[in-house]
Amino acid sequence: MKSLLRRVILFGLRRPGLAAFLSLLALALAALPILTASFSADITRMLPSGSKSERACAVLLNSGLFNQSAVLFTADTEEQLDAASSGIDRVADEIASLPGVTRVDNRFLPDDLPATLASFQEWIPQFQPFSGLDAAGVVSAVKRKILLGGFASLVLADPTGFAAAKLATLEQFRSASSFRLKDGETAIVSPDGLHRLLLLETSISAADTKDGRRLMDELESVLAKHPLPGVRADLLLAHAHSIENERVIKSDVKLACILSILFFLPAILLLFRRDLRALAIPVFPAVVSLAAVGLLAIPGEPVLLFVTATGGLVIGLAVDYGVHVYMTMRTPCPVRRLIRIAPSLMTGAATSAAVFLLLALTPIPGVRQFGVFIGISLLASLLLTLLLFPSILIRTKAPLPKPRPLKTFSPKLASGICFALMALFAVLAALRLTVRTDLRQFDAAQEKLSETADAVERLFLDGPAQGVLAIPGKDANTVLMSASLICDGFLNLDPGLEGRMFSPSFLIPTKAERERNLASWRESFDYDAFAELLRAAAEDEGFEPDAFDPFLASLERGLESPDLDSYPEVFAPVLNRILRPAADGNGWYAAVFLPQSALANKHRPGAGPVPYCILGAVAISRADIPAQIVSDMKSATTLPVILAVLSVFVIAFLFFRTVRDSLCAMIPVAMALLTVCAVYAVLGKPLNLAAEISLVLLSGLAIDYGVFVIGSERSANPYVFRAVSASALTTAAGGLTIAFAGHPLLHEAGFALIPGVLAAWGAAALLLPSIRRGFIVNKKASLKTLLLSLIPALLPLTSACHSLPYEYDPIPPLTETEWPLYRDAVQPPAEPMKPFAFQGKVTFEYKFFKQATLCAVSYDESGELRVAAFSPSGGKLFELAGTADTLVDYWFMPIDVLEGHEEEAAGFILEDFFHIFGGLDPWRGVKNGAAENVKDDSKIIRRELFGDGKEELVSEFWGTNLPVMGKSYFKNETIDWQSWYFRYIVNDTTIFPEIIVYDNYKHGYRLILTVSDLFEDSEP
Amino acid sequence: MIPAKNRFFLLAAASLLAVSFFAFADDTSAQPETKANEAKVAETTPDTAELLANIANFRTLRTKFVQTKHLKAFKKPMVLNGELCLDRPGKRFAWHVEKPLRYSCIIANGKLTQWDADSDKTVSVPFSKYPMLEMLSDAMTAFASGDVKALEKDFEAAAGQDGTVVLKPRSERFAASLITEVELTLDDSRTKIVKVRASEKNGDVTELVYTNSVFDSDIPDTLWQAKQKK
């Protein structure tokens, strides 16, 4: 490394023009991707990838179920709002015609109710099975209703009362979703009559700030074009959060640039006695950080604006290198001295960069980008400074400032002060420090935008907040089936939920049900005969002969040309919001409303005939998501801090090669971390994600101070005090550039940095030389004392290691009351395994080898299983068929290595698939095994012994009639194979595993199966 | 049972995947050309010869494709969608599958490189290690571009009806053990291929339909990379 750095320095000095040209060229090339980069202010990029909270937020965004786009009209009096009604209708029509607006709902119910009821009749044959229709009875019921005071137009439009009953279901939506409206209003008017809502649907993603801003401008211009006297309009757009966050961060980037100039220029001129060449010091990191933004754009992911705003911080950290070069170049024999200190500078930079690059290991995309940005910037800044700066300074004849030696005290006093402070800070932190990892505190738009959102909730929502289940599926029909099954499960478990939950399946049946209903009507209902009878009965009862013709025409339309893919328009305002395609175009989502208590404690997610979590549904409740974010962030942010501390020690040790000096160099790190924790504890501020990022940052720069000071002690360099002080000053200035930022994330990071930098400087420049000298005198005590002193700085190491690629949702324990019911209810079913067929993919894993393939699998009524596998390119790899006992047929693509082993391989594969798909229901497939059920916390474990008792199948279930969640097979107490079922999908008649992880321990490989298309018959 | 040969599975799986791209790539090295073959090539009728002379006269091809695999023993076909790129002068071939599993296979610069989104692993196999891959590459390029002349030593070509060319494997060639017939459908100008239909011995039928084909355009470099953006 020393030789390389020497060459870099000498090349810069000998060929300054060429060096500058090459550097600028490289930087310009690196910066080029900025031109095509996309920038994002999406706060959810700060959530750990793959975490539950990220999944929940992804569902929230992708489902569009919670798209809060609306216009809220507010009047002072009900009369004013009534007078503005036609104006609001005009606004609604104009908004509906705006590009990007896909739907505007202005009314909860249509104005023309008789027409709605009449057209509704065509859905009768699809929505309910035929159960007899007596013409005379229909007419007499109509007459009775009219005599009792019913509106004739309404009663005649809906003579069977079917439409009225279905519309009443909408009322259930209002009660289950806590949505309240003014009685007797068809428009969406609040119960106090002073507010009216227009609900908007847009095709513009909530994260798309460009089109979102355009839409916002257009909406504002429509509202300005139609002034409504005495009525105020407020926009509530889902895009507003992204737009506001982007605005704040962009203004922060500008502010950081201005502050960098304001802080760094005077500081540098002051430190370097108005030597204008010193102004080049911050230029190197500034240019490098611009190029680093370009590098971030190369992977194609959006560059986070939070990250670019930390450019000031890069300058604050990297000017240290310029400071050291400047100081060295003013000493006698400057080049030789520079070459001598270059490795030390590189070690410092590498240590810091390593700490930041470690952040690339975190599961948080935003933090990863931040780590890579700063890590690369620091290393490149040092190289650029070594290459170009000496040639600028080489002709300096300015007098050398008088060196200021490092402060020294009595070693005992220095150690005493240091350890007393650390102990005090550690105690303060332990007693008072709290951690708040909820990311929503960093949403710059939260406060500003929550006012209108709160107003809508206050005005239109009443009663306890509802929980929502977002249910995914490949199409509308699949999510309806899942929703129906899940609701049945909840109702079976707690009949008290009747009327307190709502699902789209309450409004419309599944396609298969529609087809069955329609078939029953076509089979048993004679339309012509009924129409004749109805007309005759109407005449007998004194109605006009054609009084029922609109009803009959609608019914006939429903029988002759039914639309099985659509639903009544009157349901659209509700159904469009709770049953909709995913924003990314992959699949659909349904929302089921139910009390939060049903999602939380009382009902286990694993309970009921179909636990919602195994169908991929995500519970979304205001209480749960923040808690989940907190939990995910805790586990994702603790490890980087621990790793940062450990890595700086390792790198310091590699440089010093003595434990004592390495531990000494860690003192500024420990002091900086403990000071920040203590400051937060004393101020009563919780430690948040931004502060934790700053802790990682502090570890990187505080070790620099430690390395410089210990290095100078070893080489008797008298200039280090000034250099470390200048370095701390510029870093604190870098912290200040972002501490003034408007965005909470940047502001917090800057705020945490400043006390940490000061503490690290104090420990390094004032205390460390004395402490080290003391330890040199008393070598025996030094190591033990150092180790003891650094213990308070260690934070508990918490990490989770998941051996499986998927996770189950947590299952609450089975209570003592539940257990006997579940144990006794579980019985082996009598019928054999049901036929099935599917297409999907299989990922084959063997040690470090991993390969995905496609597959088609079927199991028919004769008990024959057929498997075909294809490479992802479509080439068939093999096809085989057989029963549980016999291999019937097989074919493999001819390859040398398999020659002669085809039958054997086919037997293994067949066996694996029978292991996976055999016995999916409780106790199915058991052959004379001695079995017992045992309770294991939240699960029911079924143990079955086979043969002479040396083979055992252990199956795990989550409750009565549930599909199996895991199976393990043991031979002679050694595990032979294991199969886990992480998610199930629904078809019309059954549920089937969707994600399966199968481990064959005998041969040491793993199969991960994902079912993509499940077919109803057994021939895929 | 092969208890001590777990690596066998790995090797078998890797080998299967490497050669599975197109089942009808022939092992020409194992069977030197015979005079009988040459004679059969010469038998091609003048009409067919004229037809064959006009197709596949392009430099590059970029096209979306739908590959439908009808399996004899299964009712529902397996359908793959993706994009295919051919660079004949550069001897490059790219096969990007978008659904049901994102996958890419690039044959270029003397190696075959595969990537799939599920495993996110890229595997490269040089031709020098597996010479058969070079033949595979040539065969795939010939089939995908409709370059019948390049296939004449393995297949007999004849002009079919409605702008089709029917290829039947020569009985002594390896392809004959797998394939009964390959039918190439041409566009109205009888110069560009729009569909490939391969009937296999076991009753399976594979159809490859091209849509939005663009000829002789520059193909972006990103399409010659196996690993695609997630």
Q: What is the CATH number of the domain that holds A850?
A: 2.50.20.10
**Residue A117 — very low, low, confident or very high, per pLDDT cuts 50/70/90?**
confident
B203 touches chain A (CB under 8 A): no
Long-range CB contacts (within 8 A, 24+) of A660-664: A660/A775, A660/A779, A660/A782, A660/A783, A660/A786, A661/A710, A661/A714, A661/A772, A663/A783, A663/A786, A663/A787, A663/A790, A664/A706, A664/A710, A664/A768, A664/A771, A664/A772, A664/A775, A664/A786
A873 closest CB neighbour out of B9, B71, B105: B105
For residue A451, is it within any domain?
A: no
**Residue A364 — very low, low, confident or very high, per pLDDT cuts 50/70/90?**
confident
Residue A623 has pLDDT above 60, yes or no: no
- Which ipTM was obtained for this model? 0.76
Report the alpha-carbon distance of residue A259 to residue A312 in Å, rounded: 8
Residues of chain A contacting residue B103, judged by C-beta atoms under 8 Å apart:
852, 872-873
**Residue A832: what pLDDT?**
65
> Domains in chain B and their CATH numbers?
23-224 (2.50.20.10)
**Residue A188 — very low, low, confident or very high, per pLDDT cuts 50/70/90?**
confident
Residue A66 has pLDDT above 80, yes or no: no
Question: Which has the minimum average pLDDT: A415-419, A439-443, A615-619, A877-881?
Answer: A439-443
Residue B13: C-alpha distances to residues A692, A843, B100, B111 (Å): 46, 11, 20, 19
Report the alpha-carbon distance of residue A561 to residue A570 in Å, rounded: 19
Report the alpha-carbon distance of residue B216 to residue B191 in Å, rounded: 14
For residue A135, is it within any domain?
A: no
Looking at residue A687, the DSSP 8-state letter turns out to be B
Nearest partner of A370 among A759, A30, A745, judged by Cα: A745
Report the alpha-carbon distance of residue A506 to residue A512 in Å, rounded: 15
Residues of chain A contacting residue B11, judged by C-beta atoms under 8 Å apart:
897
Contacts of A227 (CB under 8 A, 6+ apart): none
Q: A with B: how many residue pairs have Cβ under 8 Å apart?
A: 136
Q: Do A708 and A832 fall within a single domain?
A: no
Q: Could you count the other beta carbons within 10 Å of the beta carbon of residue A585?
A: 7
Q: Could you count the other beta carbons within 10 Å of the beta carbon of residue A97?
A: 9
A895 closest CB neighbour out of B15, B103, B123: B15
Best mean pLDDT range from A42-46, A962-966, B122-126: B122-126
Q: Do A741 and A843 fall within a single domain?
A: no
Q: Roughly what angle, to the nearest 10 degrees, separates helices A768-777 and A689-715?
A: 50
Q: Give mean pLDDT, residues A422-428.
A: 74
Q: Could you count the other beta carbons within 10 Å of the beta carbon of residue A819?
A: 14
Residue A396 has pLDDT above 70, yes or no: no
Q: Do A318 and A402 fall within a single domain?
A: yes
Q: Give mean pLDDT, residues A89-107.
A: 85
For residue A865, is it within any domain?
A: yes
The burial of A455, by beta-carbon neighbours within 10 Å (0-12 exposed, 13-18 middle, 19 or more buried), is given as middle
The verdict on a CB contact (< 8 Å) between B16 and A874 is no
Report the alpha-carbon distance of residue A958 to residue A943 in Å, rounded: 15
Q: Where are the beta strands (DSSP E) in A630-753?
A: none
**Residue A882: what pLDDT?**
92
What would the pLDDT profile of A132-158 be if each residue is shown by its tens digit? 888 888 888 887 777 766 666 777 778
Instruction: Give the residue with greater pLDDT, A92 vs A275.
Output: A92
Overall pTM > 0.90: no
For residue A595, is it within any domain?
A: no
**Residue A519: what pLDDT?**
92
Q: Give mean pLDDT, residues A632-649.
A: 67
Domain span at A676: 2-39+243-438+626-793
Residue A334 has pLDDT above 50, yes or no: yes
Residue A45 has pLDDT above 50, yes or no: yes
Residue A999 has pLDDT above 80, yes or no: yes
- pLDDT averages per 10-residue partition of chain B, 230 residues: 42 45 39 39 54 75 90 85 89 88 86 81 79 72 75 78 81 73 83 84 87 88 81
Q: Give mean pLDDT, residues A522-537.
A: 87
Mapped onto helix, strand or coil, the DSSP state of residue A783 is helix
The verdict on a CB contact (< 8 Å) between A852 and B116 is yes
- Please tell me which residue of chain A has the smallest CA distance to B11: A897
Q: What are the backbone angles phi and psi of residue A592, rounded to the nearest 5°?
A: -115, 125
Residue B100: cis peptide before it, omega within 30 degrees of 0: yes
| Residue written as token pair 């947590």 | A810
**Residue A456 — very low, low, confident or very high, per pLDDT cuts 50/70/90?**
low
Angle at A128 between CA A122 and CA A129, to 5 degrees: 115
| Residue written as token pair 């039914």 | A562
**Residue B159: what pLDDT?**
78
One-letter amino acid identity for A726?
Answer: A
For residue A933, is it within any domain?
A: yes
Q: Do A258 and A400 fall within a single domain?
A: yes
Mapped onto helix, strand or coil, the DSSP state of residue B101 is coil
Q: Give mean pLDDT, residues A847-875.
A: 84
Report the alpha-carbon distance of residue A490 to residue A847 in Å, rounded: 42
Helix (H) or strand (E) run with residue A870 in it? strand A865-870
The verdict on a CB contact (< 8 Å) between A898 and B16 is yes
Mapped onto helix, strand or coil, the DSSP state of residue A832 is coil
**Residue A725 — very low, low, confident or very high, per pLDDT cuts 50/70/90?**
confident
Residue spans of alpha helices (H) in A716-795 = 720-739, 744-761, 768-777, 779-790
Instruction: Give the residue with greater pLDDT, A155 vs A390.
Output: A390
Instruction: Give the residue with greater pLDDT, A891 vs A31.
Output: A891
A898 closest CB neighbour out of B12, B73, B117: B12
For residue A571, is it within any domain?
A: no
Torsion on CA atoms A799, A802, A805, A806, rounded to nearest 10:
-90
What would the pLDDT profile of A864-875 be if each residue is shown by its tens digit? 899 999 888 777
Cβ proximity of A975 and A969 under 8 Å: yes
Question: Which has the minimum average pLDDT: A684-693, A705-714, A809-818, A900-909?
Answer: A809-818
- Joined together, the tokens standing for residue A149 give 């005071």
B 11-30 near A (Cβ less than 8 A): 11-17, 19-23
B 113-132 near A (Cβ less than 8 A): 116-119, 121, 123
B6 closest CB neighbour out of A839, A896, A1003: A1003
Instruction: Give the residue with greater pLDDT, A202 vs A679.
Output: A679
* Count of structural domains within chain A: 2
- Please tell me which residue of chain B has the smallest CA distance to A849: B10
Strand order in the sheet with A195-202: A101-105, A195-202, A70-75, A231-236
**Residue A799 — very low, low, confident or very high, per pLDDT cuts 50/70/90?**
very low
Strand order in the sheet with A836-846: A887-892, A876-882, A865-870, A849-859, A836-846, A1005-1015, A991-1000, A974-986, A966-971, A951-957, A939-946, A930-936
> In sequence order, what DSSP letters do the residues of A35-49 get, joined into one string?
GG--EE--GGGGSPT
**Residue B124: what pLDDT?**
84
Residue A632 has pLDDT above 70, yes or no: no
Mean pLDDT, all residues of chain A:
76
B205 CA: distance to closest CA in chain A (Å):
11
Report the alpha-carbon distance of residue A547 to residue A539 in Å, rounded: 9
Q: Do A401 and A306 fall within a single domain?
A: yes
- Please tell me which residue of chain B has the smallest CA distance to A890: B202
- Joined together, the tokens standing for residue A420 give 């007393």
**Residue A798 — very low, low, confident or very high, per pLDDT cuts 50/70/90?**
very low
Nearest partner of B56 among B140, B134, B143, judged by Cα: B143
What would the pLDDT profile of A404-420 be if each residue is shown by its tens digit? 555 566 666 777 777 77
For residue A657, is it within any domain?
A: yes
| Residue written as token pair 């610069």 | B109
Looking at residue A992, the DSSP 8-state letter turns out to be E
Q: Do A772 and A908 fall within a single domain?
A: no
Residue by residue, what is the 3-state secondary structure of A156-200?
HHCCCCHHHHHHHHHHHHHHHCCECCCCCCCECECCCCCEEEEEE
One-letter amino acid identity for B130?
Answer: Y
Q: Decide the pairing of beta strands A303-304 and A39-40.
A: parallel
B71 closest CB neighbour out of A856, A878, A893: A856
The verdict on a CB contact (< 8 Å) between A897 and B15 is yes
Q: Could you count the other beta carbons within 10 Å of the beta carbon of residue B36?
A: 11
Q: Do A867 and A783 fall within a single domain?
A: no
Report the alpha-carbon distance of residue B103 to residue B83 in Å, rounded: 10
A875 closest CB neighbour out of B23, B76, B116: B23
Residue A881 has pLDDT above 90, yes or no: yes
One-letter amino acid identity for A370?
Answer: F
Q: Do A849 and A987 fall within a single domain?
A: yes
Q: Give mean pLDDT, residues A437-458.
A: 56
Cβ proximity of A582 and A472 under 8 Å: yes
A491 CA: distance to closest CA in chain B (Å):
37
Q: Do A880 and A731 fall within a single domain?
A: no
Report the alpha-carbon distance of residue B82 to residue B98 in Å, rounded: 5
**What are the residues facing A842 on neighbouring strands?**
A853, A1009
The verdict on a CB contact (< 8 Å) between B101 and A852 is yes
Helix (H) or strand (E) run with residue A823 in it? helix A818-825
Q: Do A826 and A748 fall within a single domain?
A: no
> Which of A871, A898, A1010 to mutate against chain B (most B CBs within 10 Å)?
A871
Looking at residue A279, the DSSP 8-state letter turns out to be G
Mapped onto helix, strand or coil, the DSSP state of residue A629 is helix
Q: Give mean pLDDT, residues A651-659.
A: 78
Cβ proximity of B168 and B206 under 8 Å: no
B99 touches chain A (CB under 8 A): no
**What are the residues facing B173 on neighbouring strands?**
none
Q: Where are the beta strands (DSSP E) in chain B?
A: 60-70, 78-87, 92-99, 103-108, 111-116, 121-126, 155-159, 164-169, 179-186, 193-200, 205-215
Q: Do A788 and A665 fall within a single domain?
A: yes
For residue A443, is it within any domain?
A: no
Contacts of A123 (CB under 8 A, 6+ apart): A166, A558, A567, A568
Q: Do A280 and A429 fall within a single domain?
A: yes
Cβ proximity of A236 and A72 under 8 Å: yes
Residue A696 has pLDDT above 70, yes or no: yes
CA dihedral for A442, A448, A451, A453, sign (positive or negative): negative
User: What's the full length of chain B, in residues?
Assistant: 230
The verdict on a CB contact (< 8 Å) between B101 and A849 is no
Domain of A753: which CATH number?
A: 1.20.1640.10
- Please tell me which residue of chain B has the smallest CA distance to A880: B73
Report the alpha-carbon distance of residue A739 to residue A737 in Å, rounded: 6
